[in-house]
Amino acid sequence: MPVVSFDECRSTNTEAVNLIKEGMKPPFAVVAKKQTNGRGRMARSWFSREGASICMSITACMPADSQLMASATVRAGISVCKALSSRLSCGLYLKWPNDLYSQSGLKVSGMLAEMVDVGGLYNIVFGIGINYDLSPVLSEVPAEISNSVADLRSLWSTPISFGEAQRIAANAVLEALLSRDMSMLGEFQKYDYLRGKRVDVALGCQRFCGTAEGINSLGNLIVRTDDGLARIVNSGEATLHKA
């Protein structure tokens, strides 16, 4: 897979989208030592520093299959979680749809997928930021997230180099995006951070609370509300309920 590298850029997703629109054909990866305007889900920013954070975007041309496209981000999250957990001999979990968390509820990785339609071809740009080793830059971590994040170094049982962690994650994303195997969604339950927990759901202008019950066959979150209704969440955000 070709790799386009930057010492610094605003966002690897932005660079990847621009490259596709300029004619570069997926699959390819965009990596950066540092992002100045890294983007996460729900328009959040992503903290990164050289050597402390893995910042990259993986691109692929998606088949014209609604089920594969709808489940792509969840399948990629499963693939990354499985690959890194196995290599590091540590417990990583998936907070739907695809953020990586430690068992204690600290965020390790954030992922953001965007679709780019060029000439009728659906290309996916899958951005992933991973906290690799924040210890040298703890003083720079924003106060609002300093108590809610973890890095690979603090969790691993088996050490891994920055480059290997980057390659493992990139290959895992690409494998999932190119796969037509929907059955891998069944593995979500092994890593499901929210299952059985009370969650608050923000879906557009809607807000509701319930208990997370895993995902359906398309990778959508199932939330059981207090009136017994199973609601399907295919976008938006689910967070742990705050009493």
All structural domains of the chain: 3-191 (3.30.930.10), 198-240 (2.30.30.100)
Going along 132-220, which residue ranges are E strands?
Answer: 198-203, 206-215
Over residues 73-80, the mean pLDDT reads 95
Q: Give dist(CA 145, CA 107) in Å, integer.
A: 9
Helix (H) or strand (E) segment spanning residue 221: strand 221-225
Q: Give dist(CA 44, CA 73) in Å, integer.
A: 18
Q: Name the pLDDT band for 192 (thresholds 50, 70, 90).
A: very high
> Does position 91 have pLDDT exceeding 90, yes or no?
no
Task: Tell the residue number behind the tokens 């969604």, with chain if given.
Answer: 185
Q: Name the pLDDT band for 128 (thresholds 50, 70, 90).
A: very high
Q: State pTM to two decimals.
A: 0.89
The per-residue pLDDT for range 159-184, each reduced to its tens digit, is: 999 999 999 999 999 999 999 999 99
- The pLDDT score that the predictor gives to residue 23 is 93
